[in-house]
Amino acid sequence: MKLHCFTFNPLGENTYIAWCEESLECVIIDAGMYDSSEHTQIQSFITENNLSPMALLGTHAHIDHIFGNWWVKQIYQIPYYLHQDDVKMIDRSETMAALWNLAYTPSPQPDHFLNGGDTIAVGKDIFEVRYVPGHAPGHVIFINHTNKFAVVGDTIFQGSIGRTDLPGGNHQQLIEKIHSEIFTLPDDYTLFSGHGNQTSVGIEKNTNPFFN
Ligand SMILES: [Zn+2]
């Protein structure tokens, strides 16, 4: 499985495209594109690489991760997958956008719910879904064991963890779930976060100040 990272919107969110090199089927993870130049960026990448979008996957539904949901639905008409416990974040997103003075077109509701333990096929490649709440109540991560990486959204960052002061946040739960769902992966797995640089399980286990 191949992965490409884009950094979008005023909040510097990482949007990912993951694809199967054989079938060229792809998924978009966290559609954070904010304006027409960002729409063009991701659309050009998909076209130039001959990719066929199959699904939109959400790690969680904070507003910076869903700015582009409406656009993805309009252009690609693909199903949107999200954990049920983050639907309330979508319902709250117009209020949050107004609060932060950001332009926002309402996101469609999910077509399918994700649960920990699910697997998602992208062509011949597989994502394992794990449930890692604490930053958001319905936060999930996507793990590809063949290529040893995980798209972890806002659970853990290089040297930090997701904030837990937003509605539905729970600091103790986030710490526990990072231990049980992320630090149980082998040290050499790369972690692709929702903001900032990529890191690895081993680096964060040994140097992240929240765990050392
Ligand atoms: Zn978030």
What CATH fold (topology level) applies to the domain 2-207? Metallo-beta-lactamase; Chain A (3.60.15)
For the segment 41-100, what is each residue's pLDDT rounded down to a tens digit? 999 999 999 999 999 999 999 999 999 999 999 999 999 999 999 999 999 999 999 999
Mean pLDDT of 187-208: 98
Residue burial 72-103, b: 16+ Cβ < 10 Å; e: rest: bbeebebebbbbebbbebbebbeebbeeeebe
138 CA to centre of ligand 1 in angstroms = 11
What are the extents of the domains in the chain? 2-207
26 CA to centre of ligand 1 in angstroms = 23
Mean pLDDT of 97-123: 97
91 CA to centre of ligand 1 in angstroms = 15
Mean pLDDT of 143-166: 98
Closest CA to 114 of 135, 85, 143, 91: 85
Task: Give the neighbor-by-neighbor strand order of the sheet with 125-131.
Answer: 119-122, 125-131, 140-144, 149-153, 190-193, 199-200
134 CA to centre of ligand 1 in angstroms = 10
For strand 149-153 and strand 25-29, is the pairing parallel, antiparallel, or unpaired? unpaired
145 CA to centre of ligand 1 in angstroms = 24
Closest CA to 151 of 170, 169, 125, 173: 125
90 CA to centre of ligand 1 in angstroms = 12
Contact 212, 172 (CB under 8 A): no
